[in-house]
Amino acid sequence: MGAVLPRKEASFMLKDNVLRLLSSAPAPLSGQAMSRELKVSRAAVWKAMEALRKEGYTIESRPGLGYRLLSSPDLLSPGLLTRPGQAVGNRVVCLDVTDSTNNECKRLAAQGAENGLVVVAGEQTGGKGRRGRSFLSLPGKGLYLSVLLRPQASLRQVQQLTAWCAVAVCRATEALTGLSCQIKWVNDPLLDGKKLCGILCELGLDDDGRLDYVVVGMGVNVSQTAEDFGPELSRMATSLGQHMASPPRRSEVAAALIEELNALWNGFPVRREFYLEEYRRRCATTGQMVRLIREDGEREAFAERVNDDFTLRVRLPDGNTEDVFSGEVSVRGLEGYA
């Protein structure tokens, strides 16, 4: 016999399941059809819809036809984001606040969570960036999402995932908004030369030192203003809202990311040529002078091209070339962030 869920948890799950059915239905859905699908009473379905209405969801009731979802508030809900049958998004955990969606993903991975788990949050209190930097995670302004992947691939292939994910973020953004994105090597999606999104990949090893999982975290700037960023950060960062009359809801951004991450997973690693071509086409770093920033100092170089393994080929002032790896160096443009 399965475990019986506490009443409050069961009601939350039913509400999310009703929302999932309404959001995916192409036509009005009857209460009877939902009760049959979810194996609950029609009264339970009605109570779930009333709870959704109180949260701000607009649900139309049409006698003889059923119910239709007309609009949604800017809330992050498993009912809107879960994608049953997909590799990525088959389970979605939505949190109002967490220390870090990457940390939550790693905690769930340690408990045996399956490939494709997605963790989404409205606020992070301990967001992280590359090389140990902190990541600004304002409440309600950005979309913070991590995905748990358990690839059967070589470490060299897995190390290229961060570049693949930069392409996925660009594709999701363009599909949702029509805005054209570029990439600053190695994994920063850009709008008009400013950073739109931060991406952080973290690996988990088993007791024998073999790859157990990869957690990919993304923080997308959705509705931040220049004032939100402050004078220093606003020179380098931007948001969707600064390029649109009205930014998309965070749930829409999350849904677009989940779709592109699912496509990425389905093609990894065999579609390397596709993602490499997309990456090279979007890369704003190549063809210009850059600064190579290492712990022991900085020097200028010319960024020639992105290699087949997504490393960066640069030419130094003395004429020698060097292939730069993301883990050992940061790259900045001479005139700006990109």
Average pLDDT estimate for 90-99: 95
Closest CA to 226 of 217, 218, 235: 235
Residue 7 CA, distance from chain mean position: 32
Residue 291, SS3?
strand
- For residue 248, what is the DSSP state? P
**pLDDT tens digits for 278-298?**
999 999 999 999 999 888 888
Tokens of 81: 């984001």
* Contacts (Cβ under 8 Å, ≥6 apart) of 312: 185, 186, 285, 286, 303, 305, 306, 323, 324, 331
Global pTM reads: 0.86
Element (H, E) at 16: helix 7-24
Residue 59 CA, distance from chain mean position: 28
Angle at the Cα of 329 from the Cα atoms of 326 and 335, rounded to 5 degrees: 105
Q: How far apart are CA 79 and CA 114, in angstroms?
A: 19
**pLDDT tens digits for 173-213?**
999 999 999 999 999 999 999 999 999 999 999 999 999 99
211 — alpha (psi -120 to 50), left (phi > 0) or beta? beta
Given 3-state DSSP classes, what are the helix, strand and coil percentages for the chain, each rounded to the nearest 5? 35, 25, 40
Residue 100 CA, distance from chain mean position: 13
Closest CA to 221 of 201, 248, 187: 248
- Return the C-alpha torsion angle 248, 253, 256, 259, nearest 10: -160
**pLDDT tens digits for 157-178?**
999 999 999 999 999 999 999 9
Q: At residue 7, does pLDDT exceed 90?
A: no
**pLDDT tens digits for 227-270?**
999 999 999 999 999 999 999 999 999 999 999 999 999 999 99
Q: At residue 3, does pLDDT exceed 50?
A: no
Tokens of 88: 């990525």
Answer positive or negative: Cα dihedral of 36, 41, 46, 52. negative
Q: How far apart are CA 232 and CA 261, in angstroms?
A: 32
